[in-house]
Amino acid sequence: MVDQTADHVGAGRGEEPVVGVGGKLERAPRNFEELSVSRAIRLATRGIVLRCPHCGAGRLRESWMKLVPSCPSCGLRTDRGEEDFFLGGMMWNIVFAEGLLLLSAVLIGILTWPDVPWTLLQWVGTALMVIAPFVFYPFSLGFWLACDILIRPVTEEELSWHRENPSDTFRHIVDR
């Protein structure tokens, strides 16, 4: 039981207050499906194939380097109303590109051992670091949107805000 009667402790995190005995607020039971591995896989798959991770219906890509401002199906904004939202997508882009570099270097090293072509490895690595970020960019943004929805599930209140506000309006969120 939560001792607060004015503000709900889980407000803003998808938890709805429930009035208990004596007018005290209790947390509603958590929906464990939102924390499941199958949901995480479903969201990640939708994001990587550039579909809206929330509804799975809307296409996310406007062009190779640009996402649509919002899902045409459910109205979820692809920046979730935050100016710096895509910093996480940029981080995943670096992780994917460097992961490809590591994988290719290890694979070339194993397949050509003991005569590893170091010059070839150097040129392939340089080319991968120039090309891979452009190839992975839209997928990393979709994957980041899916990760964010997994961490912070979309609420009806947030969806209505996304539908009502233009894409150049940003929310001012105070975490704590």
pLDDT for residue 25:
55
DSSP string, 83-106: TTTTHHHHHHHHHHHHHHHHHHHH
Is the separation of the CB atoms in 60 and 145 below 8 Å?
Answer: yes
Tokens of 68: 């649509």
Q: Which helix (H) or strand (E) holds 17?
A: strand 17-19
Question: Which tokens belong to 134?
Answer: 């452009």
Locate the domains of the chain by residue range.
1-30, 35-164
**pLDDT on residue 7:** 39
Kindly state the tokens that stand for 165: 């506000």
User: For the chain, what percent of residues have pLDDT higher than 90?
Assistant: 60
d(CA 9, CA 58): 33
Confidence at residue 8, expressed as pLDDT on a 0 to 100 scale? 38
pLDDT of residue 163: 86
What tens digit of pLDDT does each residue of 13-63 get?
Answer: 444 455 455 655 555 555 556 778 999 999 999 999 999 999 999 999 999
Tell me the C-alpha distance between 46 and 145, whole Å. 10
pLDDT for residue 83: 83
Tell me the per-residue pLDDT of 59-71, one tens digit each, with 9 for 90 and over: 999 999 999 999 9
- To which H or E segment does residue 44 belong? helix 37-48
pTM of the predicted model as reported, rounded to 2 decimal places: 0.75
Give the list of residues 6+ apart from residue 136 with CB closer than 8 angstroms, or none.
Answer: 93, 96, 97, 100
d(CA 119, CA 147): 38
Short-list 49, 41, 7, CA closest to 27: 7
